[in-house]
């Protein structure tokens, strides 16, 4: 079932008043649902000592949401200085932040390693000697290459730019030990929107096998393994939900076996984004136009700049029309205002007939939704709201304005040349 059913029920009676108060379009997130998913995750893995989820900030980089997650004991997975800053601004620091960057500049390492610190997750063996200082703990991102099939979305690990190869991994830890680094972790990220839990268990087993190998060669006892994110959510109505408890049971078994065999076990880290917040967000938009040409079009007051997944990946997002769910349907394309023909939230979708002013709820926009927004064609990103657990509603990011759009044109002039006596 796409979009948490409880969220839908909570939202329905409030929606007209929310639309009246805040105006469309907006993304709205559900505090109760987010809290529940956090609790489910923590409970599922409670038998593994030191389990910790590092929420992938890129999925929903809003401080109000991140604060909810922090209160559930989550850390944050960041890949840029602004994401680290966002996490630090809500009070996370040190081991609560994992910096999983790639193609990283020295400047970014400097900020990451400043006095507040973080866990550094290096994407390449060459980066060790570029660190501005030697941290106490280091993690490497592992890319299994041909040893593993990537999942459908992320693709073949052999073609992926990320991570250290199997042949490099022992040398990477050896080099780190030689530099005086004392504690170690290992990370991988191979899946995206994966609905088969066995893939995640296999990823865990793969990392446990590698740390065993590295331990055999270098004597390192790993602090943690991080199995990445990529847990899927059902975007289409008939897709079954990801089986979190089966995944947790499988991984818990693997950890027990590892501990029994080796006398020690690492902690388990994870960095889900989509699974945590995806189903607990929706994009609410109003119908402003109808057009009948070769197809029937329903025009809404937002565009793919507020939700890029359908246009970019042809991703399905379920849509319902507030108060009209049981009305007779017809096939329509639901479109925004961008001058790009892929600016469509739905293509040839059976939806109840609408009139201007009807409210469309586009499901499952709580992850990689607002965050992927952009300004192409002068489109401004919408506001974000939070449905609190007491059913109050709070503005947690205002809509972009024209002034925002023009701020980067506000700058001190700088010119060079022309160089008059330039001789090539
Ligand atoms: C995007 C990303 C994630 C989160 O992916 P989800 O599909 O949202 O779970 C986690 N880790 C890394 C390194 C990522 O790039």
Which tens digit of pLDDT belongs to each residue from 235-274? 999 999 999 999 999 999 999 999 999 999 999 999 999 9
383: which 2 tokens? Answer: 């506001």
Our mutation pick for probing the ligand 1 site, out of 152, 228, 244, counting the most ligand atoms within 8 A of Cβ, is 228
* Neighbour tally for 2: CB within 10 Å: 23
373 lines ligand 1 (CB under 6 A): no
Q: Are 144 and 190 in contact (CB under 8 A)?
A: yes
> Which structure tokens are listed for 19?
């639309």
Q: Is 273 in the pocket of ligand 1 (CB under 6 A)?
A: yes
Q: What is the largest CA-CA distance in the chain?
A: 76
pLDDT of residue 5: 86
Going from the Cα of 271 to the center of ligand 1, the distance in angstroms, rounded, reads: 6
Which residues lie closer than 8 Å to 217 by C-beta, 6 or more apart? 170
Ligand 1 atom having least distance to the Cα of 274 = 8
Beta carbon of 175 within 6 Å of any ligand 1 atom:
no
Helix and strand element counts for the chain (H, E): 12, 17
Which residues have a catalytic role annotated?
339
pLDDT at position 422 is 66
Pocket test for ligand 1, best of 55, 100, 191, 230 (most atoms within 8 A of CB): 230
Nearest to 352, CA basis, from 336, 334, 369: 334
Domains in the chain with CATH codes: 31-277 (3.20.20.10), 279-400 (2.40.37.10)
Instruction: Decide: 347 and 311 in contact? Cβ < 8 Å.
Output: no
Cα 240 to ligand 1 centre (Å): 21
Instruction: Quote the ligand 1 centre to 207 CA distance (angstroms).
Output: 17
DSSP β-ladder status, 281-292 and 26-30: antiparallel
- Residue 10 has phi, psi (to 5 degrees) of -65, -40
4 Cβ inside 6 Å of ligand 1: no
Query: What is the number of the ligand 1 atom nearest to the C-alpha of 192?
Result: 7
376 CA distance to ligand 1 centroid (A)? 25
Question: Tell me, what's the pLDDT at 157?
Answer: 86
Q: Is 58 in the pocket of ligand 1 (CB under 6 A)?
A: yes
Question: How remote is the C-alpha of 106 from its chain's centroid?
Answer: 25
pLDDT of residue 367: 98
Q: Ligand 1 in contact with 336 (CB < 6 A)? A: no
Question: What is the dihedral sign for C-alpha 393, 276, 83, 80?
Answer: negative
Neighbouring residues of 22: CB distance < 8 A, sequence distance ≥ 6: 383, 385, 393, 395
100 CA distance to ligand 1 middle (Å): 10
Segment 366-394, tens digit of pLDDT = 999 999 999 999 999 999 999 999 999 99
pTM: 0.95
The response to whether residue 265 sits with its C-beta less than 6 Å from ligand 1 reads no
C-alpha distances (whole Å) from 251 to each of 142, 202, 255, 396 are: 19, 9, 6, 36
368: CA distance to ligand 1 center in Å? 10
Atom of ligand 1 nearest to the CA of 229: 9
**Per-residue pLDDT in tens (0 to 9) along the chain, 424 residues:** 468 889 999 999 999 999 999 999 999 999 999 999 999 999 999 999 999 999 999 999 999 999 999 999 999 999 999 999 999 999 999 999 999 988 888 888 888 888 789 999 999 999 998 899 999 999 999 999 888 877 666 778 888 888 999 999 999 999 999 999 999 999 999 989 999 999 999 999 999 999 999 999 999 999 999 999 999 999 999 999 999 999 999 999 999 999 999 999 999 999 999 999 999 999 999 999 999 999 999 999 999 999 999 999 999 999 999 999 989 999 999 999 999 999 999 999 999 999 999 999 999 999 999 999 999 999 999 999 999 999 999 999 999 999 999 999 999 999 998 877 766 6
* Alpha carbons 56 and 341: distance in angstroms, whole number: 31
Instruction: Give the gyration radius of the chain's Cα atoms.
Output: 24
Nearest to 385 by CA among 406, 403, 366: 366
CA distances 419 to 27, 414, 415, 423, Å, are 51, 15, 11, 9
Best residue among 56, 140, 278 to mutate for probing ligand 1's pocket (most ligand atoms within 8 Å of CB) is: 56
CA distance 133 to 111: 11
Query: Per the omega criterion (within 30 degrees of 0), is the bond before 40 cis?
Result: no
Residue matched to tokens 């992926």: 160
**Secondary structure of residue 65 in the 3-state scheme:** helix
């Amino acid at each position: 079932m796409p979009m948490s059913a409880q969220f839908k029920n909570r939202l329905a009676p409030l929606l007209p008043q929310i639309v009246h108060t805040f105006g469309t379009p907006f993304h709205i997130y559900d505090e109760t649902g987010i809290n529940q998913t956090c609790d489910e995750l923590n409970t599922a893995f409670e038998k593994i000592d030191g389990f910790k989820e590092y929420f992938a900030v890129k999925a929903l980089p809003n401080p109000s949401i991140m604060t909810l997650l922090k209160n559930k004991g989550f850390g944050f997975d960041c890949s840029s200085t602004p994401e680290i800053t966002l996490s630090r601004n809500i009070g996370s620091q040190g081991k609560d932040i994992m910096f999983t960057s790639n193609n990283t500049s020295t400047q970014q390492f400097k900020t990451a390693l400043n006095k507040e610190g973080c866990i550094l997750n290096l994407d390449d063996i060459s980066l060790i000697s570029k660190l501005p200082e030697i941290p106490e703990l280091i993690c490497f991102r592992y890319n299994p290459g041909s040893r593993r099939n990537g999942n459908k979305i992320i693709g073949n690990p052999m073609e992926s730019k990320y991570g250290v190869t199997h042949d490099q991994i022992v040398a990477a830890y050896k080099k780190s030990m030689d530099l005086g680094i004392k504690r170690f972790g290992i990370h991988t990220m191979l899946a995206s929107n994966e609905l088969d839990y066995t893939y995640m268990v296999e990823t865990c087993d793969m990392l446990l096998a590698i740390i065993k190998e590295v331990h055999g060669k270098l004597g390192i006892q790993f602090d943690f393994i991080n199995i990445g994110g990529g847990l899927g959510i059902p975007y289409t109505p008939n897709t079954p939900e990801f089986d979190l408890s089966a995944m947790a049971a499988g991984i818990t078994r693997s950890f027990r076996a590892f501990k029994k065999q080796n006398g020690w076990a690492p902690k388990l880290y994870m960095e889900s984004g989509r699974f945590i917040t995806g189903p607990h967000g929706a994009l609410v938009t109003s119908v402003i136009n109808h057009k009948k040409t070769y197809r029937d079009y329903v025009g809404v007051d937002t565009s793919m700049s507020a939700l890029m997944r359908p246009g970019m990946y042809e991703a399905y997002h379920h849509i319902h029309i507030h108060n009209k769910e049981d009305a007779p349907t017809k096939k329509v394309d639901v479109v925004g205002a961008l001058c790009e023909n892929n600016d469509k939230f739905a293509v040839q979708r059976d939806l109840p007939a609408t009139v201007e002013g009807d409210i469309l709820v586009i499901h499952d926009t709580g992850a990689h939704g607002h965050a992927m927004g952009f300004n192409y064609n002068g489109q401004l990103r919408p506001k974000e709201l939070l449905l609190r657990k007491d059913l109050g509603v709070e503005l947690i990011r205002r809509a972009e304005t024209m002034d925002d759009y023009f701020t980067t044109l506000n700058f001190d002039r700088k010119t060079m040349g022309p160089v008059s006596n330039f001789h090539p």
